[in-house]
């Protein structure tokens, strides 16, 4: 078995059937595969439809709605393939999407980590995901632009610190080594956490820029209800790493702010360090950048303290 597809479901039967149809229509001929559908408490007829399916489908019914991380973990525990491909049930998969992801994995070799792809908003066609970056509050954001076409032809794979779990390919052995998703995240943040854990083991994430699919973004009920709690948990786990990942962006912001200020307070040493790091001429983030990012993240913790209950251990 080469690939195990894991698709968690929660209502949206029409989108699920369209997603599964597009998956079957775009699979490479002769690919050894299984499709594991994990229903997370649907009440819209999804379970009646699942009862009609046979091989290559495998169906798991959760006793109640347990959330995205648990559903994926349970599905992955049943998998037998060399690769896991996690898919949201609101995707529209297009020709050669999987071939390009597998080709990117071969290109990167055995030290690659989680692998994502380019996702377009199904309604508008705009780029919604081509990798991730960290903003000046220490929060992950999607890249919503692509390199020029000539660049993608020459360099079809982009390194990134994390990719979305909406469409994610990972070696099953690595998934097991990492322990799957952290189930304390509630429908968000678990994919970034997984990628950061892989990165800490020198298995960085990448995006296959020639693999392009369409996504009905955040179509699942309740998808955005726990964004603040998830952001706080991610910051609690990865505060220092998020500060480092945003340090170069902080340096550019610092230089622009100070050099364009009518009353600059810029220090020569700090400016020189920031400029060298911004231009990739210094390997480590300067102290001023790390301190600036730590202060920004601390501001977020102060805000969370006002609007959220204390975090669970």
Q: With contact defined as beta carbons under 8 Å apart, do 163 and 115 qualify?
A: yes
Q: How far is CA 86 from the centre of its chain?
A: 11
- Span 157-198, pLDDT tens digits: 999 999 999 999 999 999 999 999 999 999 999 999 999 999
The residue that leads in pLDDT, 313 or 6, is 6
Taking the domains of the chain in order of start, what are their residue ranges? Answer: 3-226, 246-307
Per-residue model confidence (pLDDT) at position 119: 98
256-302: pLDDT as tens digits? 887 766 655 566 788 899 999 999 999 999 999 999 999 999 999 99
pLDDT at 222 > cutoff 90: no
Selection from 69, 50, 45, 48 nearest residue 60 by Cα: 50
Mean pLDDT of the chain: 94
Query: Residue 8: its pLDDT value, please?
Result: 98
pLDDT in tens, 267-279: 678 889 999 999 9
Please, which contacts does 298-307 make with residues 24 or more away whose CB atoms are closer than 8 Å? 299/137, 300/137, 300/138, 300/139, 300/231, 300/232, 300/235, 301/232, 301/235, 304/228, 304/231, 304/232, 307/228
Of 37, 42, 40, nearest in space to 56 by CA: 37
pLDDT of residue 131: 97
Q: Rounded to an integer, what distance in angstroms lies between the CA atom of residue 236 and that of residue 239?
A: 6
What is the fold, at CATH topology level, of the domain defined by 3-226? Spore Coat Polysaccharide Biosynthesis Protein SpsA; Chain A (3.90.550)
Read off the pTM: 0.94
Left (φ > 0), alpha (ψ -120 to 50) or beta: where does 107 sit?
A: alpha
What is the rounded average pLDDT of the residues 120-148? 97
């Amino acid at each position: 078995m080469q690939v195990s597809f894991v698709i968690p479901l929660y209502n949206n039967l029409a989108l699920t059937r369209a997603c599964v149809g597009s998956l079957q229509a775009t699979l490479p001929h002769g690919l050894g595969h299984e499709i594991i559908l994990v229903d997370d408490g649907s009440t819209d007829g999804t379970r009646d439809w699942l009862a009609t399916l046979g091989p290559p489908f495998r169906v798991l019914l959760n006793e109640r709605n347990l959330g995205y991380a648990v559903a994926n973990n349970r599905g992955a525990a049943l998998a037998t393939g060399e690769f896991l491909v996690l898919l949201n049930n609101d995707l529209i998969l297009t020709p050669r999407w999987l071939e390009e992801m597998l080709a990117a994995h071969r290109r990167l070799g055995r030290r690659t980590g989680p692998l994502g792809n380019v996702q377009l908003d199904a309604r508008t066609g705009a780029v919604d995901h081509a990798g991730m970056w960290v903003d000046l509050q220490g929060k992950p954001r999607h890249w919503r632009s692509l390199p020029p076409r000539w660049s993608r032809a020459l360099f079809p794979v982009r390194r990134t610190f994390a990719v979305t779990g909406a469409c994610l390919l990972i070696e099953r052995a690595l998934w097991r080594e990492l322990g799957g998703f952290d189930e304390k995240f509630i429908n968000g943040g678990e994919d970034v956490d997984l990628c950061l854990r892989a990165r800490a083991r020198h298995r960085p994430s990448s995006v296959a820029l020639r693999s392009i699919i369409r996504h009905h973004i955040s179509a699942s009920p309740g998808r955005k209800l726990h964004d603040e709690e998830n952001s706080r948990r991610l910051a609690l786990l990865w505060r220092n790493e998020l500060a480092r990942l945003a340090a170069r962006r902080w340096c550019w912001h610092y230089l622009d702010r100070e050099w364009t200020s009518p009353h600059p307070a810029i220090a020569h040493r700090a400016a020189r360090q920031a400029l060298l790091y911004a231009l990739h001429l210094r390997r480590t983030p300067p102290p001023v950048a790390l301190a600036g990012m730590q202060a920004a993240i601390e501001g977020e913790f102060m805000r969370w303290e006002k609007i959220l209950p204390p975090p669970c251990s």
